[in-house]
A = this chain, B = another copy of it.
Amino acid sequence: MPYSEETASYKFNHTMLRIKDPKVSIPFYTDIIGMDLVEKLEFSDFTLYFLAFDQSGGKATDVEKKANRHKREGILELTHNHGSETLDKTPYHSGNSDPRGFGHIAITVADVEAACARFERLGVPFKKRLTDGAIKNLAFILDPDGYWIEVLPARPLF
């Protein structure tokens, strides 16, 4: 739309996904995906985890990252409803079989071959490897609850 003062402040701050077990999902999104846990909010029945990629090149402190959490885009909110971690398998649905809806989150990376080789080495399951199918420059990995994460280069595919 044309630039409008009415919506000029709006930002696409976050996307929320429910998770079975933070002891599995938080290390996945921090150590493997490379996000920072910028805030954790605990309530009686659930806990919210807010994750984001560092946009400061390693310069921002934890306090600055937390303070910036509402002012930026690209936050992932993970909701843990207490007790789900005891289930044998995730109660959550990826959205990619009936009933469909949400499809995936996506991360862009400078070197998609290197990123996928690293995910492979770290034991991350793939839904689609770079070599699968007709499109050879994007992949889909699966998070611990089975949500799809697209991995693609930071440039046009087509």
Query: Known: A4-B34, A155-B70. Is A99-B107 also a contact (CB below 8 A)?
Result: no
| CB-CB nearest in chain B for A41 | B158
CB distance from A123 to the nearest CB of B (A): 16
Asked if B154 and A102 make an inter-chain contact with CB atoms under 8 angstroms apart, the answer reads no
Asked if A101 and B18 make an inter-chain contact with CB atoms under 8 angstroms apart, the answer reads yes
Query: Known: A93-B95, A93-B101, A99-B99. Is A33-B7 also a contact (CB below 8 A)?
Result: yes
CB distance from A104 to the nearest CB of B (A): 5
Q: Which residues on the B side are within 8 Å of A33 (C-beta)?
A: 7, 10
A156 touches B (CB below 8 Å): yes
How many copies of this kind of chain does the complex include? 2
Asked if A70 and B108 make an inter-chain contact with CB atoms under 8 angstroms apart, the answer reads yes
A118 touches B (CB below 8 Å): yes
Q: Which residues on the B side are within 8 Å of A17 (C-beta)?
A: 101-103
A23 touches B (CB below 8 Å): no
Asked if B101 and A10 make an inter-chain contact with CB atoms under 8 angstroms apart, the answer reads no
A132 touches B (CB below 8 Å): no
Asked if B7 and A34 make an inter-chain contact with CB atoms under 8 angstroms apart, the answer reads yes
Asked if B102 and A11 make an inter-chain contact with CB atoms under 8 angstroms apart, the answer reads no
